[in-house]
C-alpha cells in the first residue's frame, strides 16, 4: 500500500535516527546500511551531524539517490527516508 507524505511523517514521528552522517561523509558502507534498514523498516530517520560540514538537504538528497530511496522530508539536521514503493507522493527536491 502506498502512503502519502502525511502518513510517512506520522510513522517517522515515533522513530529515532538510526543512521548518522559524520565527518566521513557519505561512504559506500553508509549507503549499504541505509538500504538494509529500509528493507526491514520501510521508513528511517537519518541524522546529519555538524561534523560532516555539508548542507543537510543536499547530503540527504545524495544519500537517497545512491541508496535508491525516497527523501520525504528534512527538518534541521534530521532527514526522513523511505522505500520508493512505500511512498506515493512527490519526493522532496533540493532547492
Which cell numbers in the block locate residue 22?
559524520
What is the domain partition of the chain in residue ranges?
Answer: 5-85
pLDDT of residue 57: 93
- pLDDT digits 0-9 by tens, 19-77: 999 999 999 999 999 999 999 999 999 999 988 888 999 999 999 999 999 999 999 99
The CATH homologous superfamily to which domain 5-85 belongs is YhbY-like (3.30.110.60)
CB contact set of 82 (below 8 Å; sequence gap of 6+): 3, 8, 38, 42, 43, 44, 69, 70, 72
Q: What's the rounded mean pLDDT across residues 70-85?
A: 92
Handedness of CA 3, 9, 94, 65 (dihedral sign): negative
Amino acid at each position: 500500500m502506498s502512503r502519502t507524505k502525511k502518513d510517512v511523517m506520522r510513522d517517522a514521528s515515533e522513530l529515532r535516527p538510526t543512521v548518522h552522517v559524520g565527518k566521513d561523509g557519505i561512504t559506500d558502507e553508509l549507503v549499504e546500511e541505509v538500504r538494509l534498514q529500509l528493507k526491514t523498516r520501510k521508513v528511517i530517520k537519518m541524522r546529519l551531524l555538524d561534523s560532516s560540514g555539508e548542507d543537510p538537504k543536499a547530503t540527504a538528497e545524495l544519500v537517497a539517490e545512491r541508496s535508491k530511496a525516497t527523501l520525504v522530508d528534512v527538518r534541521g539536521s534530521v532527514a526522513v527516508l523511505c522505500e520508493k514503493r512505500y511512498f506515493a507522493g512527490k519526493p522532496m527536491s533540493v532547492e
